[in-house]
A and B are shown apart, each in its own frame.
Chain A
Amino acid sequence: EADIYQTPRYLVIGTGKKITLECSQTMGHDKMYWYQQDPGMELHLIHYSYGVNSTEKGDLSSESTVSRIRTEHFPLTLESARPSHTSQYLCASSQRRGGQETQYFGPGTRLLVL
């Protein structure tokens, strides 16, 4: 069982506000990811990190930014929230073992921007 945490679980916020979604894992995994998912749709990768001070953008363009100052922590920030940012945000982590690699997900943050 994976130990990966996200806060807040739900967030309702007004347009223009700055928000930070927290993600932490206690497994010591090198790799961490942020996905965005809308209802009935696939998960889209928006950011990933292979270790401390490493961050890359994913397939889906996002106005959010991320940082990886500590192995266990991978926060996502929106400087100015807009209604188009309303979605579910899922954090995941993984480590390669025995030639295979499985991503483990946190519970997600449901964001509603009014």
Chain B
Amino acid sequence: DQQVKQNSPSLSVQEGRISILNCDYTNSMFDYFLWYKKYPAEGPTFLISISSIKDKNEDGRFTVFLNKSAKHLSLHIVPSQPGDSAVYFCAARGARYSGAGSYQLTFGKGTKLSVIP
């Protein structure tokens, strides 16, 4: 049973326009959410995160929105650039305590973003 869902496997956006990547979760115990970007044959790179006590976090061209009542978060990239083309993973922390003050991350399957020049 997937607790973190990215329902769009792929997304194509024109350069300069906004990219919106969506993520839904089912477990209300998640308290911290992260977005990672992954190029082929490389490891995921941390992009931006948001705590469940906030509804928005912004870092340059990247903004993450959290709607707790809908159990939904989204990543906005404005303006989109060709270098943003990658697979984006949504991850959620919590719900499964692993000890030593830490919780495991649960990942979605990723959305492949293609930014067309």
Which A residues lie at the B interface, using CB under 8 A?
2, 4, 6, 9, 30-31, 40-43, 45, 48, 50-51, 54, 56, 58-59, 90-92, 94, 96, 100-108, 110
Contact = CB atoms under 8 A, between A and B. Distances in A.
B69 interface: no
A96 B98 CA distance: 14
A9 B43 CA distance: 11
Contact of B34 (A2, A96, A102, A110): A102
Contact of A41 (B4, B42, B98, B109): B109
A56 B41 CA distance: 27
Nearest to B100: A50
18 contacts: A31-B100, A31-B102, A40-B110, A42-B107, A42-B108, A45-B105, A48-B98, A54-B100, A59-B96, A59-B104, A101-B32, A102-B46, A103-B46, A105-B36, A105-B44, A107-B41, A107-B42, A108-B42
A105 B36 CA distance: 10
Interface string B73-114: 000000000000000010001001011111011111110000
- The number of chain B residues touching the other chain, given as a range, is 20 to 34
Contacts, number: 71
